[in-house]
């Protein structure tokens, strides 16, 4: 279904088009999302999104921060999804990688940035997140 140029989803109760840009960082902004931790993080984000009927539109993992573009059912909630992603992605990689566990007592800061994409074209936001890797930020 399309509404005002956006693709819409439905959960049976409501029709929605809720796309969020989320950014979060490891504690102390340490550059620990390397050596395969970045690949594992991407897989966990996709697993959690799939399990919660959310969609990952775009994901970019930098050594010291993560950009996500997510479509989320508003009845499920973006906060709940981010909490699940951060919880699972902190626990599993730290269990699998002793070097990561030794660097940080917990992986993520409690803070994160989130904004609805609103009227901004998704292609523009996707291009921005993709360019984060190229710009070295």
- HSE of 29, CA atoms in CB hemisphere, 13 A: 3
Per the annotation, the verdict on 16 as an active-site residue is no
Instruction: Give residues with Cβ within 8 angstroms of 56, minimum separation 6.
Output: 45, 46, 49, 68, 69, 70
Marked catalytic residue, from 3, 20, 112, 128: 128
Do residues 19 and 116 touch, judged by C-beta distance below 8 A?
Answer: yes
Q: Enumerate residues 6+ apart whose C-beta is below 8 A from 67.
A: 21, 22, 23, 58, 59, 60, 129, 132
**So which residues are the catalytic ones?**
128
């Amino acid at each position: 279904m399309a509404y005002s140029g956006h693709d819409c989803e439905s959960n049976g109760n409501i029709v929605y088009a809720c796309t969020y840009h989320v950014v979060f960082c490891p504690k102390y902004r340490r550059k620990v999302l390397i050596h395969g931790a970045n690949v594992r993080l991407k897989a966990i984000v996709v697993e959690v999104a799939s399990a919660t009927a959310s969609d990952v539109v775009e994901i970019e993992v930098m050594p010291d921060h993560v950009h996500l573009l997510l479509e989320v059912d508003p009845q499920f909630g973006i906060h709940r999804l981010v909490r699940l992603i951060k919880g699972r992605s902190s626990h599993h990689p730290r269990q699998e990688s002793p070097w990561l566990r030794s660097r940080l007592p917990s992986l993520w800061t409690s803070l994160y940035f989130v904004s609805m994409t609103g009227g901004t074209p998704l292609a523009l936001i996707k291009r921005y997140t993709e360019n984060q890797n190229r710009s070295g930020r």
